[in-house]
Amino acid sequence: MTPLESALSAWIAFHGELGVDMQAYLLPPATEKQVVAVEEKIGYRLPEDLRELYKIANGQWVMYDDDESLITVDGEARWAPLFGNYEFLTLDRALERYEFYLDMYTSEAEFNTKYYAANPDQHYEPTVWEVREGDAVDEAGWNPQWFTFAGSGANGYSVDMAPPRGGAPGQVVLHGADEWVLQVVGHSVTDMMEQAVTHLSPDEEHRYDYNERDGGYMASVFFNMDWRAELYIPEEQRETPAAYVEWMNEQSLADEEQREKLDLWLQGRNLSEEQRNSYMEWLSYMSIRNTPKMPPMSVIMEMQMQRLAQGELPDFSEVIDGIGAGMQPDEKTMDLREHAMSLATLHLRSDAMFSPFDISMTVDEAVALYHDYKFETGEWTQDEVNRIKKFEVDVKNLPVNIEDGFSMMSSTDSTLTVCTSSFDEETYKSTETCFDVDLTGL
């Protein structure tokens, strides 16, 4: 038995202790011809143990693919990705992923070259990713010498064929859009499985995420294979000040009550259930929550967590008073309480434009519907509605299309500075233009 076969056998047995028949989910082996075809396209030979693994199984069955023809499972079976949180990709899917990122990587490099040549006044600062201390890996989000063999979404495990000094060719790197710290989880695919079996325990508290059977999906198990990674501990089990937890629970309850109130009001507007649901999902997605005269909740939460991290339990009756200083401690800022509704309206317009939800109406209609709701339910007075409408008109009358994107920067207590940028695809020139919105009277 080869080292890879031994490691895989132990890894399958480990999953058995978690109630997962991993052997049942492995797909038929790939051929040497299939492996070579991929290597010819990426331009280098894969590590020997990864080649061997693909000749044992060309990826795994994934329950989200809904392909019942591949495998039959009973109602009590558990599914799991072969590599903790990440599915073992077939060669075809792994190559598709590689070519997608290579195209993005190449296009970004080409764009940066042309852009900064056309805009010499702007300095290029490449994104530098954090690397776990002691791990030898390139400080990048992706590298053409990385071949991702296990993944989900934009995250996964890749073999690194050209690591910096101190690394081992073929080492396994954890990276992705949601993996903020790059990590080496094994000197090889074989080593990763060997180390996981050695250091992980099926009885380890908080290590595993067990999901019960849900509709068409099987019960499943997910976990982080990196035994050195900090474990996620559920919020309710953390040592968090009781007052903060109580306040958070109150906010959740208020959110739910507001959602029910909004749904009832929308029913009176003759909207279909689908329209109501999509509209409420959009409102949940945006920054505003249930208190119209507060700044966006995301800002408040950020400040609370910052103070909590510093060992200071937030006095929630005073939180808003410090919002300005919390956001921009070195700059003079406007009174965000006074202009919160105006700022929230601008956020509302921005979120409607870029919302992933199909709200089946124009941005103007969506924002107007929200304003009608606030007025008719008594949360905004007629004077407040008039102020909001004036602000909307002032913003829409700016000599720039806000729907192309914008950034906000408060400069004085009576002026809101709105900046937009434009880009010429032929010359690669970019320009930023700023305009002031008069907040006097708001």
Q: For the chain, give the mean pLDDT.
A: 78
pLDDT score of 411:
52
Residue length of the chain? 442
The Cα-based distances of 175 to 50, 208, 331 in angstroms read 18, 20, 36
Beta bridge partners of 429: 424
Beta bridge partners of 412: 415
Q: In whole angstroms, what is the distance from residue 205 CA to residue 66 CA?
A: 31
At 313-371, the pLDDT tens digits run: 445 444 444 443 444 433 333 344 455 556 556 656 665 555 555 666 777 787 788 88
The tokens describing 143, both together, are 């590298």
71, 25 contact by CB (below 8 A): yes
Closest-CA residue to 131 (of 82, 200, 183):
183
414 burial level (CB within 10 Å; 0-12, 13-18, 19+): middle
Q: In whole angstroms, what is the distance from residue 100 CA to residue 435 CA?
A: 39
Closest-CA residue to 319 (of 337, 343, 341, 345):
337
The phi and psi torsions of 151 (rounded to 5 degrees) equal -170, 170
Q: In whole angstroms, what is the distance from residue 188 CA to residue 52 CA?
A: 12
Q: In this model, does residue 74 exceed pLDDT 90?
A: no
More confident residue, 127 or 59: 59
At 8-29, the pLDDT tens digits run: 999 999 999 999 999 999 999 9
Q: In this model, does residue 303 exceed pLDDT 60?
A: no
pTM over 0.85: no
Q: In this model, does residue 67 exceed pLDDT 60?
A: no
Q: In whole angstroms, what is the distance from residue 55 CA to residue 52 CA?
A: 5
At 175 the three-state DSSP class reads strand
At 202-216, the pLDDT tens digits run: 988 888 888 887 666
Range of weakest confidence among 39-53, 185-199, 225-239: 225-239
The tokens describing 213, both together, are 């059977």
Beta bridge partners of 430: 423
Q: In whole angstroms, what is the distance from residue 343 CA to residue 406 CA?
A: 13
Q: How many CB atoms lie within 10 A of CB 245?
A: 13
pLDDT score of 122:
78
More confident residue, 386 or 38: 38
Mean pLDDT within 78-89: 95
Query: Please, which pLDDT band fits residue 384 given cuts at 50, 70 and 90?
Result: confident
At 170-226, the pLDDT tens digits run: 999 999 888 878 999 999 999 999 999 999 999 888 888 888 876 667 889 999 998
Q: Which amino acid does the sequence have at 288?
A: I
In percent, how much of the chain has pLDDT > 90? 32
Closest-CA residue to 225 (of 385, 109, 88):
88
Look at phi and psi of residue 134 and say left if phi exceeds 0, alpha if psi is from -120 to 50, else beta: left
pLDDT score of 195:
94
